[in-house]
Amino acid sequence: MSILAVLATDVNVAQNVGFYIIAAIMLFAAFSVVSTSDVVHAALWLVVVLGGVAAQYILAAAEFVAVSQVMVYIGAVMVLFLFGIMLTKSMIGSDTDVNNKGWGVGIPVALLMFGVLAYSVIDAFDNTVLVDPSEVQIASTTTAISDGYLGDYLVPLIALSFVLLAAAVGAIVLARKD
């Protein structure tokens, strides 16, 4: 898609520019997560990726999911990760052996997977333009989400609460010293 083709349609150019900047930062941070040799640095790069995902949610008009992402991932999960790193690492700094011996196998696997996914995505959704929702729709998104949770998805919500309860109890049982 050339610049002229983009300008000819009703695509929001500023939104696209923001998307590409955030996407570039996210991809660089994701590469750093899987390539750095310091576990703490990997966790901090993961914060950049998670924040970028939250920014993309806002670009995609999903404010409630974005706020949940910031609170749950950046707030809670990252603290868990940092505690896990601190409790399992004897020394701070670069490790020499964070990769498997056969780590090179991952490169062709990842490239092949990306190729297949990109081919199918482009084949199926090329030139599908996302229409920006109206302000009324954006204002009622959270209402619609709560209607969904307390309506069609009530049983999955209750099941999920039991999953979280079981996970909390299981984590305590596993990590307890006795």
Within 116-155, which residues bind another protein (CB under 8 A)?
117-118, 121-122, 125-133, 137, 141, 144-145, 148-149, 153
Judge whether 46 and 35 are in contact, CB under 8 Å: no
Closest approach of Cβ 4 to another protein, in Å?
15
Beta carbons within 8 Å of 11's beta carbon, 6+ residues apart: 129
Concatenating the DSSP letter of every residue in 52-74 gives HHHHHHHHTT-HHHHHHHIIIII
Closest approach of Cβ 94 to another protein, in Å?
12
Q: Is 178 in the site for another protein (CB under 8 A)?
A: no
With both helix axes pointing from N to C terminus, report the angle between 39-59 and 13-35 in degrees, rounded to the nearest 10.
160
Smaller CB separation from another protein, 4 or 125: 125
Q: Is 44 in the site for another protein (CB under 8 A)?
A: no
Q: Which amino acid, 178?
A: D
Tokens found for residue 127: 């030139």
Q: Is 70 in the site for another protein (CB under 8 A)?
A: no
One residue of 21, 27, 154, 158 binding another protein per CB under 8 A:
27
Residue among 68, 62, 32 at smallest CA distance from 47: 32
Q: Is 55 in the site for another protein (CB under 8 A)?
A: no
Q: Is 5 in the site for another protein (CB under 8 A)?
A: no
Residue among 47, 31, 10 at smallest CA distance from 131: 10
| Per-residue x/- track, 72-111, another protein (CB under 8 A) | xx--xx--xx-xxx-xx------x-xxxxx-xxxxx-xxx
Q: Is 21 in the site for another protein (CB under 8 A)?
A: no
Closest approach of Cβ 112 to another protein, in Å?
9
Q: Is 67 in the site for another protein (CB under 8 A)?
A: no
Classify the C-alpha dihedral 59-29-108-85 as positive or negative: negative
Smaller CB separation from another protein, 93 or 99: 99
